[in-house]
């Protein structure tokens, strides 16, 4: 199910001889979901033939997890006052985490976090 983009996305694809740049703003739509092998993201703008554009990305789970770890390191090294969208990202990361903790029946998981995972989660949620 696609939803309106709440802010803005910029995409650049660089080849040796060409550069493609696209901007997706509030009039565009997005879709994000999980499948058997990874994370699927799609940005789509409708309009006349020359205004239509879409970007589809698929990241396998291990790569996406590594990206999340790198994002956490970036947040950890940034002073809190310099990071304007900290609360928005924290709330989204918390919702994602809680959704992953639920079992097939919607119950909260009982998995224990290692001390390192607890520290990382606390840093992400700050």
Cβ partners under 8 Å of residue 37, min gap 6: 58, 60, 61
73 within domain boundaries = no
Same domain, 7 and 56: yes
Buried b (16+ CB within 10 A) or exposed e, 20-41: eeeebeeebbbeeeeeeebbeb
With respect to residue 40, please indicate whether it lies within any of the assigned structural domains: yes
50 belongs to a structural domain: yes
Domain ranges, residue 90:
78-125
Q: In the chain, at which residue ranges do the beta strands (DSSP E only) sit?
A: 3-4, 9-14, 19-24, 29-34, 38-45, 53-60
Looking at the structure of the chain, the number of domains it has is: 2
Predicted confidence (pLDDT) per residue in 43-67, tens digit: 999 877 777 899 999 999 999 999 9
Note the residue count of the chain. 126
Q: Give the model confidence (pLDDT) of 15-45 as tens digits.
A: 999 999 999 998 899 999 999 999 999 999 9
């Amino acid at each position: 199910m696609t939803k309106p983009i709440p802010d803005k996305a910029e995409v650049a694809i660089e080849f040796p001889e060409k550069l493609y740049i696209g901007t997706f703003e509030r009039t565009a739509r997005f879709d994000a979901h999980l499948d058997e092998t990874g994370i699927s993201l799609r940005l789509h703008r409708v309009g006349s033939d020359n205004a239509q554009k879409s970007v589809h990305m698929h990241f396998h789970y291990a790569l996406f997890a590594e990206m999340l770890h790198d994002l956490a390191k970036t947040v950890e090294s940034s002073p809190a006052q310099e990071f304007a969208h900290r609360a928005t990202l924290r709330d989204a990361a918390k919702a994602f985490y809680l959704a992953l903790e639920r079992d097939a029946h919607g119950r909260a998981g009982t998995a224990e976090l290692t001390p390192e995972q607890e520290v990382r989660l606390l840093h992400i949620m700050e």
